[in-house]
Amino acid sequence: MSQTKASVSELVRHWQDVPGGLMPALWSIQNAFGHVPSHAVPEIASILNLSVAEVHGVISFYHDFKTEPASAHSIKLCRAEACQAMGVRALETFAEQRLGVKFDEQGPLVCLESVYCLGLCACAPAAMVDGKLHARLNEQKLGKLIDECESTEAGAHD
């Protein structure tokens, strides 16, 4: 734990004198640990001269910041209009059933997350799996990506 703490302060100190440095500081922590651990919050607050409430407020406002350790793999499926037009609603059901989780719940191995547009709307439906982009998905392709997640322990988190 003490090692984690030291690293948190190292990461945050980098942003100490940067105007509006809280967001990049949170990103650097999440990139290093996969989430923003709650025990890190007081330290972030004190280094950046903010209140604990302010830091909590920011973490909770943004969908991307996670406060719990992330599953080994993440599948972010785009659920927005261009992907809907190409049948993503059926893929949503397919993915939930295959993985046995609901959207935006932590699964034991895979977290299935909603995103609204990946900018791949001309080759929809699209997803980001462990930071890698995939387009023109169908059940077969998505099924294969799920298989790959389930057959390996840990993925690279973006």
Partner 1 sequence: MTKTITAYVPADASAVALGADDLATEMAQYCASAGIELTLVRNGSRGLTWLEPLLEIDQGDGHRIGFGPVTPADVSSVLRSIDEPGSEHELAVGRVEELPLFAQQQRLTFARVGVTDPLSLDDYLANEGYIGLQNALQMSAQNIVSRITESGLRGRGGAAFPAGIKWQTVLDASSNSHPVGKGKYIVCNADEGDSGTFADRLLMEGDPFCLLEGMTIAGIAIGAEQGYIYLRSEYPVAHATLQAAIAAARDRNYLGDNICGSGKHFDIEVRLGAGAYICGEETSLLESLEGKRGMVRAKPPLPALAGLFGQPTVVNNVITLASVPVILAKGAQYYQNFGVGRSRGTLPIQLAGNVRRGGLFELPFGISIREIIFDYGGGTLSGRPAKAVQIGGPLGAYIPEPMWGTLLDYEALAEIGGMLGHGGIVVFDDSVDMLEQAQFAMQFCAIESCGKCTPCRIGSVRGVETLEKIRANEDRESNLILLDELCETMRDASLCAMGGLTPFPVTSAVRHFPEDFGGEQNA
Greatest distance between any 2 Cα atoms in the chain: 51
Query: Residue 62 binds what, of ligand FES, partner 1, none (CB under 5 to 8 Å, by partner type)?
Result: partner 1
CB-facing half-sphere around the CA of 26: CA atoms within 13 A: 22
Of the residues 82, 95, 109, 142, which one makes contact with ligand FES according to CB under 6 A: 82
Total of residues contacting partner 1 (CB under 8 A): 44
Q: Does 78 participate in binding ligand FES (rule CB under 6 A)? A: yes
CA 60 to chain centre: 13
Nearest 5°: the CA angle 25, 149, 95 is 95
Of the residues 7, 32, 46, 58, which one makes contact with partner 1 according to CB under 8 A: 58
Nearest distance in Å: CB 126, ligand FES: 4
The conformation of residue 34, written as its DSSP 8-state character, comes to S
Nearest distance in Å: CB 117, ligand FES: 4
Cα–Cα nearest to 91, from 79, 108, 101, 107? 79
Q: Does 1 participate in binding partner 1 (rule CB under 8 A)? A: no
Q: Does 91 participate in binding partner 1 (rule CB under 8 A)? A: no
